[in-house]
Amino acid sequence: MKKIIIAIDGYSSCGKSTMAKDLAKTIGYVYVDTGAMYRAVTLYALQNGMFKEDKVSGQSLINEPELKNAIHQGKIRITFKVNQTTGAPDTYLNGQLVESEIRQMEVSSRVSPIAALPFVRELLTEQQKAMGREKGIVMDGRDIGTAVFPEAELKIFVTASAKVRAQRRYDELLGKAKTREEAEVLNFDDILKNVEERDYIDTHRETAPLRQAEDALVLDNSNLTKEEQKEWLIKRYEESAR
Ligand code: DC
């Protein structure tokens, strides 16, 4: 089998990361979660007071010049290190483990506007291209098959209905809640709204919007079991790497 690049794109919360991680582990490839990189930039902006709440719209506004400066001064360093327990890479921001922080609602609700900024995309796309030089990589995101690796040997576009995705996200957050209070604040409608908002921003932004590459294979997993999905993926991998 030759070493290839596997690009997995699709909507948020459709199980891309779990699927990509599992595939990489099975075939001995490196896994890169590019969403985690956009989330880490968002966390940096939050930690450094770069968001301001707009009192009229209630929206979070980002101080773009400040973030741009931080990026140009090399103040945001994102790295991955394999977690010996899970076998999957954890995300580090400037040497600090941030895997759990970047999954919080505080970050999730602000990441799409950050991912729409051309100077953020430029920086991260460059780093992602460098990670794929040796091939043998499974990378998941929104623009991997279109902008990062348009030459990838295998491109998969994953989709599922917004309701199915919101339910999965709700279940995941519920599973992670450590206290009753944490579980009680979870609201399905808020999560569904967040999923739909992110879909809108991700597909309508000017730079590298989420769209299916012409040569991508579509995987709608609304009604697939994990096993069926894995079987489908392994088959596609074997066909492409042969
Ligand atoms: O996959 P995720 O939910 O962790 O992604 C977080 C955000 O980052 C989401 O709003 C889409 C954006 N993103 C992107 O624009 N391009 C990528 N390659 C990966 C994620």
| pLDDT tier for residue 86 given thresholds of 50, 70 and 90 | confident
**Cα 37 from Cα 142, distance rounded (Å):** 12
Residues 6+ apart with CB under 8 A from 129: 148, 149
Residue with the smallest CA separation from ligand 1 atom 1 is 35
Residues 6+ apart with CB under 8 A from 159: 10, 11, 14, 218, 219, 220, 221
pLDDT of 231 higher than 90: yes
Per-residue model confidence (pLDDT) at position 162: 94
pLDDT of 12 higher than 90: no
- In angstroms, what is the span from residue 26 Cα to ligand 1's centroid? 24
For residue 183, the tally of other CB atoms under 10 A from its CB is: 13
Mutate to test the pocket of ligand 1, among 142, 199, 207 (most ligand atoms within 8 A of CB): 142
Give residue-wise pLDDT tens across range 150-203.
Answer: 999 999 999 999 999 999 889 988 998 889 998 999 999 999 998 999 899 889
Pocket-forming residues, ligand 1, beta carbon under 6 Å? 12, 34-35, 38-39, 111-112, 115, 141-144, 198, 202
Per-residue model confidence (pLDDT) at position 105: 84
| pLDDT tier for residue 65 given thresholds of 50, 70 and 90 | very high
Share of the chain above pLDDT 70, in %: 100
Average confidence (pLDDT) over 128-134: 96
What's the whole-number average pLDDT of the chain?
A: 94
Per-residue model confidence (pLDDT) at position 152: 98
Residue with the smallest CA separation from ligand 1 atom 15 is 115
Residue with the smallest CA separation from ligand 1 atom 14 is 142
- In angstroms, what is the span from residue 223 Cα to ligand 1's centroid? 23
Two structure tokens written together for 215: 């040569």
Q: Which atom of ligand 1 is nearest to the CA of 115?
A: 15
Mutate to test the pocket of ligand 1, among 38, 104, 111, 149 (most ligand atoms within 8 A of CB): 38
Average confidence (pLDDT) over 2-19: 93
Two structure tokens written together for 232: 């489908």
Q: Contact, 210 vs 9, CB < 8 A?
A: yes
Instruction: Choose the weakest-confidence range: 26-40, 70-84, 137-151, 171-185.
Output: 171-185
pLDDT of 53 higher than 90: no
Instruction: Choose the weakest-confidence range: 54-58, 69-73, 79-83.
Output: 54-58
- What single letter denotes the amino acid at residue 180? R
pLDDT of 60 higher than 90: no
pLDDT of 208 higher than 90: no
